[in-house]
Amino acid sequence: MVALCVFDAYGTLFDVDAAARVAAGEPGGATLADHWPRLSADWRRKQLEYTWLRSLAGAHVDFWQVTQDALDWALDAAGLQDAGLRARLLDLYRRLDPFPEVPEVLRDLQGQGVRLAILSNGSQAMLADAVASAGLDGVFDAVLSVDDVGIFKPAPVVYDMVGARFGTASADVLFVSSNGWDICSGAAYGFRTLWVNRAGAPMDRLHGAPDHMARDLRALPDLIGGL
């Protein structure tokens, strides 16, 4: 059985659409009612694009700055110039909801004696807020941030952090991500992999392919028990 399971955070454990969805449902959120799905999609797309472009350019900033820059682009694209809305969306992003199955799945894995870790583009401060607000303090053996290497995924040096922290070979790690580009890169790196394909997206045509695919995390305890 694989003894270490490493999770991507945003989109895998934490619902990146939650900030815009929650804000749209709050009093005064009527301006978002027709915009939030597109706004959230633009925000996420630009957030990822900026990580890749900054990595290529050697112009690293932390993920919180990238998140703010991406939101500003998305708000401009939606024609929403509202400082109060911007502040509210960023506040909600610091404490995104976990996907519904996440707490129970993590408890099941802990019960099997599996070590758990996060490997994320998120800054240490962002990840600490997300883990605490989701009630997951004490669940993870490590929360690894690209802050420590100064470049975003899928740079191999990010995946190197797992072996450096745990002393494990890549083949002894199950890496779990909802991002197709991330899971393909993790597979090429040598991790065993589970793609949590929540959106039902087609497979990315990249330099690796995941070993397993599921629509959410519920099958993970049974899967990892058989590895």
Write out the catalytic residue numbers: 8
Instruction: Please report the beta strands in the chain, taking only residues with DSSP state E, as ranges in sequence order.
Output: 4-7, 115-120, 142-145, 173-177, 192-196, 212-214
CA distance 128 to 64: 13
**Buried/exposed code over 165-186 (b: 16+ C-beta within 10 A; e: otherwise):** bbebebebbbbbbbbbebbbbb
Which two structure tokens, joined as six digits, stand for 29? 């959120």
